[in-house]
Structures are given as C-alpha cells and as structure tokens.
C-alpha cells in the first residue's frame, strides 16, 4: 500500500487556525466578562489584538487564546 501525502494549502491552513483561535478568544472574553457571544465578538473585532492577529504580527498565532483574552482585558480596558 502506497501512502500519498496530501497537498497542503498553507495559507488556507493558517486562515483556519486563525479562525479557531479567534473563536476561542471570543468565548474566553464572554466567559471572563459575563458577556454574550455577540457582545464579546463585537469587542474583539474592535481591538488592536484582532488587527495584530489578522496581520500575523509578533507570533501571536502561537499563543494560548485564554492568555490572549486576559491580555486584551488588561491592555485594552477602554473596550470594556
């Protein structure tokens, strides 16, 4: 039996990982601050963190979503 390695679209893989990370951050924000998911999503997408993740800056895509949610709360208190 011969194994074939599937072709991986790295851009698509990065996009999917970023989406999963962002969903986890939003969920953590909602839990930590007692917000609805809609409220947490709105706050997240207005944050500098969302822009940094979207731009792939600082290796943020390798960090734990719970840590990033706590960091957002601490460093962007004006959003809350």
- The whole-number average pLDDT for the span 1-28 is 88
d(CA 22, CA 44) in angstroms, rounded, equals 8
pTM value? 0.85
**Locate tokens 């986890």: which residue?**
24
Angle separating helix axes 37-45 and 10-33, nearest 10 degrees: 120
Q: How far is CA 56 from CA 1, 15, 36, 63, in A?
A: 40, 10, 27, 12
Residue where the block lists tokens 């706590």: 70
Residue of higher predicted confidence among 7 and 77: 77
- Alpha-carbon distance 38 to 32, whole Å? 14
Average pLDDT over residues 64-70: 97
What average pLDDT does range 11-29 have in this prediction? 93
Q: Is 53 helix (H, G, I), strand (E, B) or coil?
A: helix
**27-62 pLDDT per residue, tens:** 999 999 999 999 999 999 999 999 999 888 888 888
């Amino acid at each position: 039996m011969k194994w074939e390695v599937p072709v991986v679209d790295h851009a698509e893989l990065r996009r999917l990982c970023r989406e999963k990370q962002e969903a986890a951050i939003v969920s953590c924000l909602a839990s930590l601050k007692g917000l609805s998911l809609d409220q947490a999503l709105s706050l997240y997408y207005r944050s500098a963190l969302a822009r940094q993740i979207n731009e792939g800056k600082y290796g943020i895509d390798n960090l734990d979503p719970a840590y990033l949610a706590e960091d957002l709360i601490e460093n962007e208190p004006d959003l809350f």
